[in-house]
């Protein structure tokens, strides 16, 4: 018998039922999508040659699945993902600087507005990336997925994120990216 499929309210993916519960405070996601993301994150992190792609995976999934119960911390987390997506896709910054960028953005951060998310139905999902893991196309699919997620946010909030990035640049005394 085929396992039943479970819809993810974040990305619209249908993934086989795994029968686990989500943590209490979590993203708009199915447990199945959250689990597959966790697996792919561990697989990607575990391969030194893929470290340069890691931030694309992290930003793509998290910006596609914002927190359900938003608060200051949730808004801040989303803002950091959107700011690195802006740098990668609007300014050509390399994703290999992802962790360093997020660290820098935590310093002198401002209070980020809450942004109601756009719809991501019909877009790339973690399943697309999972299928390409271990192939030369993996980085490309991560880039396409992250780029599509960024485009959905940018259609409504480009100016907001650009202003956040501008503020970070002004307040950051760390190295220029």
Interface residue list for Zn ion (CB under 5 A): 8, 10-11, 13, 29, 33
Cβ atoms 142, 129 nearer than 8 A: yes
Q: Shortest distance, CB of residue 72 to Zn ion, whole angstroms?
A: 24
Q: Shortest distance, CB of residue 53 to Zn ion, whole angstroms?
A: 19
Report the residue number, 13 or 62, with the smaller CB distance to Zn ion: 13
- Taking the C-alpha atoms of residue 53 and residue 45, their distance in angstroms, rounded to an integer, is 9
Q: Shortest distance, CB of residue 63 to Zn ion, whole angstroms?
A: 12
Report the residue number, 28 or 87, with the smaller CB distance to Zn ion: 28
21-52: buried (b, 16+ CB within 10 Å) or exposed (e) per residue?
eeeeeebbbbbbbbbbbeebeeebeeeeebee
Report the residue number, 23 or 92, with the smaller CB distance to Zn ion: 23
Pseudo-torsion of CA 150, 153, 158, 163, nearest 10°? -90
Tokens linked to 67: 């927190």
Q: Shortest distance, CB of residue 111 to Zn ion, whole angstroms?
A: 28
- Taking the C-alpha atoms of residue 165 and residue 176, their distance in angstroms, rounded to an integer, is 12
Report the residue number, 12 or 52, with the smaller CB distance to Zn ion: 12
């Amino acid at each position: 018998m085929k396992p039943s499929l479970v819809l993810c309210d974040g990305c619209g993916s249908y993934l086989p039922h795994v029968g686990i519960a989500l943590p209490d405070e979590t993203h708009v996601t199915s447990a199945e999508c959250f689990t597959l993301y966790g697996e792919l994150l561990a697989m990607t992190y575990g391969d030194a040659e893929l470290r340069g792609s890691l931030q694309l995976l992290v930003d793509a999934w998290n910006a596609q699945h914002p927190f359900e119960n938003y608060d200051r911390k949730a808004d801040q987390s989303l803002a950091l993902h959107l700011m690195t997506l802006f740098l990668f896709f609007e300014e050509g910054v390399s994703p290999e600087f992802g962790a360093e960028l997020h660290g820098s953005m935590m310093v002198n951060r401002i209070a980020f507005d809450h942004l109601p998310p756009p719809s991501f139905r019909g877009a790339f999902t973690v399943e697309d990336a999972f299928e390409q893991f271990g192939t030369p196309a993996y980085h490309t699919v991560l880039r396409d997925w992250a780029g599509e997620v960024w485009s959905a946010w940018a259609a409504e909030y480009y100016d907001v994120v650009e202003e956040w990035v501008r503020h970070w640049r002004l307040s950051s005394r760390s190295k220029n990216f």
